[in-house]
Amino acid sequence: MAKERVLITGAAGFLGSHLCDRFLKDGFEVVGMDNLITGTLTNIEHLFQNEHFQFYHHDVSKFVHVSGKLDYILHFASPASPIDYLKIPIQTLKVGSLGTHNLLGLAKSKKARMLIASTSEVYGDPLVHPQTEEYFGNVNPVGPRGVYDEAKRFQEAMTMAYHTFHGLETRIVRIFNTYGPRMRLNDGRVLPAFIGQALRGEDLTVFGDGSQTRSFCYVDDLIEGIVRLLMSDYAQPVNIGNPDEISIRDFAEEIIQLTGTSQKVIYKPLPQDDPMQRQPDITKAREILGWEPQVSRSEGLKITYDYFKSLPEERLFEKEYNTFEKYIKR
Ligand code: UDP
């Protein structure tokens, strides 16, 4: 029987590259697509030898063409850090809206099942805790995160419309903070920021008083949850994340312990609209997908730290290691 074929957008990014690995391992033909603004080929260069992997350098905000059959489309192309949203707000809006529309059209024409990467950001600065899928959220559309949050909310609405109006098979995963090897070291996210600071011998920058919370999921757990959701018959949104919640101040202490750095914590102003608390309610994932995280934060952080330590030293000091800066000046 011919292998099933999957298109993964954002293939050169953190999550996209792990998805490519997983689907190749599971015996699929994988088509990766990325415009390499925030992704890097370094994440997938090991796949170019693989005869079951193909790569398209393309921006999905423009018309998307893929020849041959497609059984599944996973839309993971998007800037995904608050610093990125500030630097490339329009591209962030476009990939979530126009990009999603293009891919839904492609899915419809190929009769493929489409899974979109949504986010806990659809809950904004949540007034319900932990966040269940039924919660509508508390988002500021015109704040710095609005370009991401509203694009993702539109993306969900558009995907649901294709599902109900065109009968397209769709899946929506709401991804909570995830970490692991291949995160960008300099994208401003808290985990690479802290580990990078520890490795460079700088103080760790906690924003605000550090009482805001996040719940960090190790990437392998997330990927397993996504695969299970894709293969399920459930079209409503599902939270995938690790409910183990921690304050950012305590998280900084954990990184200090882990890295053995003699640096200290310093405090910087809290960015606007920074959510004060975040924890997924994963009852649905447990009941519908039989999924829950397996990797503890201490195990996951150790693997991630070893990865960052193994990078060439000059990477630690690079401002950006991809085409990002060049792109935004165009
Ligand atoms: N944060 C921090 N120091 C940093 C980077 C981030 O204290 O150097 C905080 C940030 O204000 C937020 C949390 O860590 O409260 C998580 O930030 P991140 O950018 O990783 O993702 P978010 O969950 O906010 O989208």
Which CATH number applies to 5-327: 2.60.120.10, 3.40.930.10, 3.40.50.720, 2.60.120.260?
3.40.50.720
* pLDDT interval class at 318 (50, 70, 90): confident
Mean pLDDT of all residues in the chain? 95
User: Which has the closest alpha carbon to 191: 39, 98, 301?
Assistant: 301
User: Which has the closest alpha carbon to 182: 325, 47, 61?
Assistant: 47
Contact call for residues 181 and 307 (beta carbons, < 8 A): yes
Domain ranges of the chain: 5-327
CB neighbours of 2 closer than 8 A, spacing ≥ 6? none
Element (H, E) at 169: none
Q: What is the mean pLDDT of residues 132-136?
A: 98
* pLDDT interval class at 320 (50, 70, 90): low
| CA contacts within 13 A on the Cβ side of 155 | 36
pLDDT exceeds 80 at position 151: yes
pLDDT exceeds 60 at position 330: no
Alpha-carbon distance of 241 to 213, in angstroms, equals 14
* pLDDT interval class at 315 (50, 70, 90): confident
pLDDT exceeds 90 at position 80: yes
CB neighbours of 20 closer than 8 A, spacing ≥ 6? 8, 11, 30, 32, 44, 47, 53
Residue 81 beta carbon below 6 angstroms from any ligand 1 atom: yes
* pLDDT interval class at 326 (50, 70, 90): low
Residue 212 beta carbon below 6 angstroms from any ligand 1 atom: yes
pLDDT exceeds 60 at position 322: no
Q: What is the pLDDT of residues 197-224, one digit of tens each?
A: 999 999 999 999 999 999 999 999 999 9
Residue 252 beta carbon below 6 angstroms from any ligand 1 atom: no
In testing the pocket of ligand 1, which one of 175, 200, 242, 248 has its CB within 8 Å of the most ligand atoms? 248
Instruction: Give the Å distance between the CA of 248 and the centre of ligand 1.
Output: 8
pLDDT exceeds 80 at position 81: yes
Alpha-carbon distance of 194 to 303, in angstroms, equals 15
H-state helical runs in 111-176: 146-166
Name the pTM for this structure. 0.96
In testing the pocket of ligand 1, which one of 214, 256, 278 has its CB within 8 Å of the most ligand atoms? 214
Q: What is the mean pLDDT of residues 64-82?
A: 97
Helix crossing, 146-166 with 89-110: angle to 10°? 10
* pLDDT interval class at 290 (50, 70, 90): very high
pLDDT exceeds 70 at position 77: yes
Active site residue 148: yes
Which of residues 231 and 326 earns the better pLDDT score?
A: 231
